[in-house]
Amino acid sequence: MGWIGDTVDSIKSIQIRQLLTQAVSLGMIVTSALIIWKALMCITGSESPVVVVLSGSMEPGFKRGDILFLHMNKEPIRAGEIVVFNVDGREIPIVHRVIKVHERQDGEVDILTKGDNNYGDDRLLYAQGQLWLQRHHIMGRAVGFLPYVGWVTIIMTEKPIIKYILIGALGLLVITSKD
């Protein structure tokens, strides 16, 4: 009867090893994604180095679903640059172009933005009574551009079912894959 027990043991040990390797490889995927994201944050100096355009206010330059690469440094902000900014009381950051800059001697700066495709400037979007954006509202300036790729994110946030199906399918594949 000894050989049956040996076989069962060997099978068990193989399954545990397989499970472990699968867990490790899954961990590798997650951590490498995290590493890349954090490294990008360090390099670009922006808290979200890659953003997806959600609205058509910058058309025809940026369409919904395009990806923007942001960069943030100490250099002063100038008119014409495309900046991503946060407005108090608004959750989603906005990507628009700077049309007016008033920079004081001490480096403090007042900025007015406008979407290329909008008729008026952004004062209606700012917080109640806010006339200008200051430096601390700015998250970064757009330096690069990649079309269409952001649709993946948009579809996943708007149709969560697809996201769950995708995650489920991937998880199933990881569990069932033999090698």
Partner 1 sequence: MGQLATCYLQNIITQFSGPCCVSSVAHAVALQGLHQPSRCHQPSLYCSASPSPLSSSQLSQPVPNQPLQHFASLWKNCCAVPNMHSFGYRANALLTFGITLLALMCGMASFSDNINSPSPSAHVQVLNINWFQKQPKGNDEVSMTMNISADLQSLFTWNTKQVFVFLAAEYETPKNSLNQISLWDGIIPSKEHAKFWIHTSNKYRFIDQGRNLRGKEFNLTMHWHVMPKTGKMSADKIVMPGYRLPEEYR
CB of 7: closest distance to partner 1 in angstroms? Answer: 21
Q: Which value, to the nearest 10 degrees, does the dihedral of the CA atoms of residues 14, 15, 21, 26 take?
A: 170
| 143 touches partner 1 (CB under 8 A) | yes
The tokens for 124 are 């209606």
Q: What is the CA 137 to chain-centroid distance, rounded?
A: 18
Distance CA 120, CA 28 (A): 48
Say what angle helices 151-158 and 160-176 make with each other, to 10 degrees: 100
Binding mask 6-35 toward partner 1 (x if CB under 8 A, else -) reads ----------------x--xx-xx--xx--
| 153 touches partner 1 (CB under 8 A) | no
Q: Which of 10, 145, 157, 166 binds partner 1 (CB under 8 A)?
A: 145
Residue 29: how many CB atoms within 10 A of its CB? Answer: 11
| 79 touches partner 1 (CB under 8 A) | yes
Choice among 13, 71, 88, 96 that is catalytic: 96
Residues that bind partner 1 (CB under 8 A): 22, 25-26, 28-29, 32-33, 60-61, 76, 78-82, 97, 99-105, 110, 116, 121, 142-147, 170, 173-175, 177-179
